[in-house]
Structure 1
Amino acid sequence: MSDIIQLLPDHVANQIAAGEVVQRPASVVKELIENAIDAGATSIKLLLKDAGKTLIQVIDDGKGMSPTDARLCFERHATSKIKDAKDLFNLHTKGFRGEALASIAAIAHVELKTKQEDQELGTLIKIEGSEVSSQESVSAAKGTSIAVKNLFYNIPARRNFLKSDTIETRHIVDEFQRVALAHPDITFLLHHNNNEVYHLRKSNLRKRIVAVFGTRMNEKLVPIEEQTDLVSIRGFVAKPEFAKKKRGEQFFFVNNRFIKSSYLNHAVVNAFEGLLDAGSHPSYFLFLEVPTTSIDINIHPTKTEIKFDNEKALYAILRATVKHGLGQYTIAPLDFDRNSTFDTPYDYSKKDQPSVPPITVDPNFNPFKTEPSSFTPETTSEPPKSTPAVPKTGSSSPTPSTPKSFTSNYKKDPGQWEALYTDMSSSEPTSSAPLFESTYQEPLFDDSRETETGKTFQIQKKYLLSTIKSGVVLIHQSLAHQRVLYEEFLENITVKEASSQQLLFPVSISFPSSDIEIIYSIKADLESAGFMFEEFTKESVVIRGIPTSITESQITFILEQLLDDIQMEVPDASFSHFDVMAKSFAKSLAIKTGTSLSSKEQENLVNNLFSCKEPTTSPLGKPIFKTLTLQEIDGIFNK
């Protein structure tokens, strides 16, 4: 039998390696920017066309490369960052694998121009599919400029798997933000299709965060800092009142390298215990410095996961540090149900208690006597224990609470005491206590609830149980409402002309520059849904009209949910962005688990659900209800 194992050609091996290194244009951006940082650059410029599919160019002012290094850097396993295996556990650089440029050159057209400071001329190298097409000496500025064109040109199947330009741009911006936050001492510029998205000047960490996420972020930040033998922690967390419903602005950096860690995230969330409303997520920008020998960053191809030697101690230190930082800046646990209007005003907190007003009473008064009693009013500062604190009816000396008709009729003819009662109906009511108490007392609570048993029941404020001829149907109320709203929104956007309501005062909402660009790219679709925009700036969107189905207080949450869904790649092939918008609106506005529904609301929801075209599944494909027949129910008890 002949041999079947053979060595792969270099270009095939490079394409296989590219599958691990280059997943999408954002992967190329990450590798090239990290190389520029390792080269000691103080200014880095990123140029994009068509979300990186046509062009990704990174220009830096680093130390550059010699002609030999420029040619050698495109070979597999070629790197200047490590020399032996021990260096993997003592890393101070970012790009160290030696496969990035070789993998990129295998699936794109690459043009490299580089020059060292002590050289008169630079080097220009052009590569197509791992093959060097030309190398020559050219005039160039100090540093390196590398342009990656026509990504995946020789792997069309891989190119077809790329998402829309909006989604791919979002991934690139995410990588750009992570690197920019880790290095506030470097100037970064980002241009997409000749439009400037970011221009981040050299600054400190706080100013860099504000420059990336908008000026409103400045008021949200609480500084965090702690120094221990195991770890040094610095950075910022956002105040609890600015927590969001999505996990957006959450950044961990270990030795200036962005990582993802659900374990450390749990420590931060635990530090906010008692400060956050249900379903909210805190924002944070935390930098951890640990000894390089205590971590292993080579356990994941993208190097975004790290293994720590002492995770439990790190968890406890991080939790205590964040908790201490929140307490140090007088951010105490909040009572979300407390009404501040019941608080005693500060000006009155130290004043003396008010004195009891004097009360005038006639203890010998009898309304059935034919002659008025001679009574000299007594003034007392305290009411007798047996006497109520309200004026008695029929006092010979009328008090401010005594009706005028009461006094005048009594003075005309004291013997006609019936007039005391007959004229009371024409007297005007006063703000004091009533003179006569009625035997009827209104109930304290409205007891007008339905007493009849309907066909629908709510279970744990989460599910609806409805009876049908063949048995019962169990419905998830939130998913059912999502389906109803989704079909209504989709019909209003695509079939009907969406109605819009004009706002009395335009609303300005702040977003990061990258989110502003996404909103602007789907502006026409949002206007079709009923939104009306007045102005777009680099940091905010001014809205002057909204769909009639939403309220002004829901605008921010709905747009954030829409941006999150676009970023999470909700399928959008059917109706362009209309489908994504309808799903986001439905998910944002649907009733949540824990909402109590009346019998009529339950029946309306059930009827509306089964009037939908697709009542079985939610907009995101989850089952909405489960039917149990009488036979299935009998089978439970007849086992």
Structure 2
Amino acid sequence: MSDIIQLLPDHVANQIAAGEVVQRPASVVKELLENAIDAKATRIQLLVKDAGKTLVQVIDNGFGMSVTDARLSFERHATSKIASAEDLFQLNTKGFRGEALASIAAIAHVEMKTKREADELGTLLKIEGSEVTAQEPIVTPVGTSIAVKNLFFNIPARRNFLKSDQVEMRHVIDEFQRVALAHPSITFTLHHNGNTLFNLPNANYRQRIVGVLGSKANEKLVPVNEETEIVKISGFVLKPEFAKKSRGEQFIFVNDRYIKNSYLNHAITAAFEGLLRERTHPGYFLFLEVDPKTIDINIHPTKTEIKFDNEHDLYAIIKSTVKHSLGQFQIAPILDFQRDPNLDTPYSYQSKNIGTPTIEVDSNFNPFANEKPKGTSSSGNYGGSSYSKKSTEGWESLYVGLESKMTGNLEQSNIVEVESEEVTGSFFEDKEVTQNHITLQIQNKYIISKIKSGMMVINQGRAHERILFEEFLQHITINEAVSQQLLFPVTLSVSPQELSLLSTIREVLESTGFIFSKLEDETVEISGVPAAIGNQEVGIIISDLLTAVVNETEIENELHTHIVAKSLAKSLAIKSGKALSTAEQEDLVNRLFACKEPTISPTNKSVFITYNTTDFDKKLL
């Protein structure tokens, strides 16, 4: 029997490795940016076309490479960062596996231009599917420029799994922001299809965060600083009132490397206990510096997961540090049970001398000095005051017209009695009508309605969501939404990414009744809203809408209407706990069954369940 185990060809092995390293265009962005940082670049440009599917190009002014290094960099496991296994536990650089460029070159067309400062000419290298097609000397600036074109050109199946341009570009921006936040001393620029999305100059941590999130982010930041033998913590947390329903603004960096760690995330959230609204998450930008010997980075191909030797100690330190910062900057109350605030000296008296209080007594004071003496007289004086009896002449005039007034009052009282009888009659009629109602609300959450076969239990919140969802879809389709003009326009501050997203769905929002008078310079001014929205709800609804759009796994142009309608319906639907009158209950039931899909909510959850009378018979046997 012949042998069946064989070695894989190099191009197949590279494609398999690429599946671990390169999952989407954002993966290429991450690897190329980290290589530029390791080359000690001070200025890095990222150029993207079609969300990275057509082109991802990174241009830096770093050290550059020689002709030999340029060629070796595309070989598997070729790296300048490590020489022995012990070096894996002393890593201070980004890329060290030596897999990135080889994996990228196996599934794309790669063109690299590089030049060292000491060389007169640079090197041009072209690779297609791991095969070198050209290598020649060229004139190029000092540094390296790598252009990755037509990603997954030789693996159509992988290319088909890529999402829409908007989703892929969101992942590219996420990777760009993570690298840019960790290295504020480097100038970063991002261009997509010829448009400049980010231009981040050399700055400190606070300025870099403001550059990424927008100018309004500066007032949201609370500094965090602590240094211990285990870890040095610096960075910022966002004030609790700016917590969001998504986790988009949560960044933890360890030795200038972005990581994902749910355990440390929980430590930060625990420090905000009692300060956050329900179902919201805090925002933070924390930078940790630890000894490289105490962490293991080499446990995941993307190097975003790190194993700590002393994770429990880090948890306690981070939680205490964040809680201390919130208290120090008067975000959270500080409790000191040993101090009595009543004993604190007022600020205005702190510099005054303490004197002994004195008591002064007026010896000449007589409380009875001004009292008038009481006189006793039988001729009209009573208790010291004169009393004169009034004349009783003409007393008959007091009764003139009294009989007519009494008659009139009696007539009016008879009229009142007749009216009360009429009102009482209508009251009994109303009571008789209410006995014919066929709905009942239970625990201000469910509506029970009578049907021929038994009864139906309706979730009032999901039912209202379905009703509003179809109404908004209809408004968007026929563009006949009712809009109410605001007396004072509502102004919202958004990040550049949120502003770009709002610009994309602006037309759909205007079809639902929103009117935007300004949409630029990180500012959104809304002068009109749908009739069902109040002024105070505009900011929350727009924030929830952006969160819903960002969190969608698939965003296509034809689905924008569904995403907007679903988000608005969820925000405006009545919630559990709201009491409804009988008329409101019946109106909700009637409108629900006028919908096209009354059985499920916009989030694909059941709206109602039915019970047959036979079910009750079985239970009551």
**Structure 1 residue 583 and structure 2 residue 572: aligned?**
no
Is 2:122 the partner of 1:122? yes
Partner of 1:147: 147
Decide whether aligned partners of structure 1 residues 481 and 293 sit closer, same or farther in structure 2, where only a CA change above 3 A counts.
farther
Q: 2-side partners of 1:315 and 1:127: how far apart?
A: 46
- Which runs of 5 or more residues in structure 2 are unaligned? 335-345, 347-379, 406-429
Q: Name the CA distance, whole Å, in 2 between partners of 1:602 and 1:302.
A: 54
- 1:523 is aligned to 506
Change (3 A) 1:517 1:375: farther
Q: Tell me the TM-score normalised to structure 2 length.
A: 0.81
Higher helix share: 2
Secondary structure, counterpart of 2:587 in structure 1:
helix
Rounded Cα–Cα distance in structure 2 between residues aligned with 1:593 and 1:606 = 16
- Mapped to 2, the partners of 1:129 and 1:586 lie a distance apart of 48
Aligned position for 2:51: 51
Change (3 A) 1:459 1:534: same
Alignment of 1:537-576 (within 5 A): 537-573=520-556, 575-576=558-559
2:584 partner amino acid: E
Structure 1 residue 461: Cα displacement: 4.4
SS of aligned partner of 1:575: helix
Q: How many angstroms does 1:92 deviate by? A: 1.3
1:126-205 equivalences in 2 (<5 Å): 126-205=126-205
Shift of 1:465: 4.2
Q: Which residue, out of 487, 502, 510, partners 2:470?
A: 487
The answer (yes or no) to whether the contact 2:243–2:276 under 8 Å persists in 1 is yes
Q: Are residues 1:211 and 2:211 paired?
A: yes
Measure, in 2, the Cα distance between the counterparts of 1:418 and 1:631. 81
Check the 8 A contact 1:572/1:579 in 2, yes or no.
no
Structure 1 residues 182-227: Cα deviation after superposition (integer angstroms, max 9, x where no partner): 1111111111111111111111111111111111111111111111
Q: What does 1:459-478 align with in structure 2 at a 5 Å threshold?
A: 459-478=442-461
Residue 227 of structure 1 aligns with an amino acid whose one-letter code is E
Q: Deviations over 1:346-388 (max 9, x none)?
A: 9xxxxxxxxxxxxxxxxxxxxxxxxx998999xxxxxxxxxxx
Structure 2 SS opposite 1:614:
coil
Number of aligned pairs?
A: 546
Shift of 1:24: 1.2
Report the residue type matching 1:528 in the other structure: S
Following the alignment from structure 1 to structure 2, what is the Cα–Cα distance between the partners of residues 44 and 468?
68
Alpha-carbon distance between aligned partners in 2 of 1:309 and 1:477, rounded to the nearest angstrom: 51
Q: For residues 593 and 187 of structure 1, do their structure 2 counterparts lie closer, same or farther at Cα, with a shift above 3 Å needed?
A: farther
Are positions 1:620 and 2:598 aligned together? Answer: no
Aligned equivalents of 1:376 and 1:243: distance in 2?
A: 77
How far off is 1:258 after superposition?
A: 1.3
Matches within 5 A, 1:351-362: none
Q: Quick check: 1:507 aligned with 2:490? A: yes
The one-letter amino acid paired with 1:591 is I
Supply the AA of the counterpart residue of 2:602.
P
- Paired residues of 2:89 and 2:293 also in contact (CA < 8 A): yes
Separation of aligned partners in 2, 1:460 and 1:77: 64
Quote how far apart the aligned CAs of 1:122 are. 0.9
Q: Quick one: distance in 2 between partners of 1:455 and 1:376?
A: 79
One-letter amino acid of the counterpart of residue 495, structure 1: I
Tell me the residue number matched to 1:317.
Answer: 317
CA contact (8 A) 1:123 1:137 kept: yes
Aligned amino acid, residue 190 of structure 1: L
Work out the CA distance in 2 between the residues paired with 1:588 and 1:629. 34
Structure 1 residue runs without a partner (length 5+):
335-345, 347-371, 378-395, 397-409, 424-447
Query: Are the structure 2 counterparts of residues 597 and 234 from structure 1 closer, same or farther at C-alpha, using a change threshold of 3 Å?
Result: farther
Note the 1:409-424 alignment, pairs <5 A: 416=398
- Displacement of 1:144 after TM fit? 0.7
User: What secondary structure sits across from 2:190 in the alignment?
Assistant: strand
Distance verdict in 2 for CA 1:119–1:528, change over 3 Å: same
What residue in structure 2 maps to residue 80 of structure 1?
Answer: 80
**Distance (Å, rounded) in 2 between the aligned partners of 1:376 and 1:247:** 86
Q: State whether residues 269 and 282 of structure 1, in contact with CA within 8 Å, keep that contact through their aligned partners in structure 2.
A: yes
Contact 1:274–1:333 (8 Å) recurs in 2:
no
Contact 1:127 1:133 in 2 (8 A): yes
Residue 12 of structure 2 corresponds to 12
Q: Quote the residue 1:391 is aligned against.
A: none
Spell out, residue by residue over 1:152-186, the C-alpha distance to the aligned partner (whole angstroms, 9 max, x if none).
22222222222222211111111111111111111
CA displacement 1:281-309 (0-9 Å, x = unmatched): 21111112222222223333322222222
In the alignment, residue 56 of structure 1 is paired with which amino acid?
V
Flag the 1:134–1:488 CA change in 2: closer, same or farther, 3 A: same
Distance in 2 of aligned mates of 1:304 and 1:464: 48
**Residues 386-401 of structure 1 aligned to structure 2 (within 5 Å):** none
Give runs of aligned pairs for residues 248-397 of structure 1, distance below 5 A: 248-333=248-333
Deviations 1:511-565, CA, capped at 9 Å, x for gaps = 1112212222233333333333333324222333333332333333333333222
Q: For the Cα contact (< 8 Å) 2:42–2:187, is it kept in 1?
A: yes
**Which amino acid in the other structure matches residue 241 of structure 1?**
E
How far apart are the structure 2 equivalents of 1:498 and 1:375? 83
2:64 aligned partner? 64
Query: Does the aligned pair in 2 maintain the 1:571–1:580 contact within 8 Å?
Result: no
How far does residue 145 in structure 1 lie from its aligned partner after superposition?
A: 0.7
Cα–Cα, structure 1 residues 503 and 77, in superposed 2: closer, same or farther, change >3 Å? same
Identity of aligned residues (%): 61
Change (3 A) 1:227 1:279: same
Amino acid at match of 1:542: E
Closer, same or farther: CA 301–558 of 1 in aligned 2, 3 Å: farther
Query: Residues 414-462 of structure 1, C-alpha deviation per residue, up to 9 Å, x if partnerless?
Result: 9959999x99xxxxxxxxxxxxxxxxxxxxxxxx999969654445544
* CA distance in structure 1 between the partners assigned to 2:12 and 2:286 by the alignment: 41
Aligned to 1:117, the other structure's residue is in SS state coil
Match of 1:101 in 2: 101
Higher mean C-alpha displacement, 618-627 vs 221-230: 618-627
The question of whether the paired residues in 1 share the 8 Å contact of 2:64 and 2:142 is answered with yes
What is the rounded CA distance, in whole Å, between the counterparts of 2:36 and 2:581 in structure 1?
62
> How far off is 1:27 after superposition?
1.0
Q: Match for 1:327: what amino acid?
A: G
In 1, the alpha carbon distance for the partners of 2:258 and 2:619 equals 53
2:196, 2:266 → 1: CA distance? 36
Distance in 2, matches of 1:374 and 1:452, equals 71
State the Cα distance separating 1:326 from its structure 2 match.
0.7
Contact 1:221 1:239 in 2 (8 A): yes
Q: 1:414 to 1:293 in 2, by over 3 A?
A: farther
Q: Which amino acid letter does the alignment assign opposite residue 476 of structure 1? A: N
Secondary structure of the 2:144 match is: strand
Q: CA deviation at 1:620?
A: 2.4
Deviates more, 1:215-224 or 1:455-464: 455-464
Secondary structure in structure 2 of the residue aligned to 1:64 = coil
For residue 130 of structure 1, report the CA deviation from its aligned partner: 1.2
Of the structure 1 ranges 462-471 and 21-30, higher mean CA displacement relative to structure 2 is found in 462-471
SS in 2 for 1:576: helix
1:531–1:547: 8 Å Cα contact kept in structure 2?
A: yes
Residues in 2 aligned to 1:147 and 1:7: alpha-carbon distance in whole angstroms: 31
Q: Secondary structure at the match of 1:111?
A: strand
Q: Deviations for 1:580-619, whole angstroms, at most 9, x for unmatched residues? A: 2111212222233444444443443333223221122222
Q: Using the alignment, how far apart are the partners of 2:92 and 2:171 within structure 1?
A: 25
What is the RMSD of the two structures over their aligned residues, measured on CA atoms? 3.2
Where 2:527 maps in the other structure, the secondary structure is strand
- Change over 3 Å in CA distance of 1:625–1:100 after alignment to 2: farther
Give the superposition deviation at 1:573: 4.8
Q: Say if 1:614 and 1:40 are closer, same or farther in 2 by CA, change over 3 A.
A: same
**Alpha-carbon spacing, 1:414–1:458, altered in 2? closer, same or farther (3 Å):** same
AA aligned to 2:523 is: S
Which residue does 1:33 correspond to in 2?
33
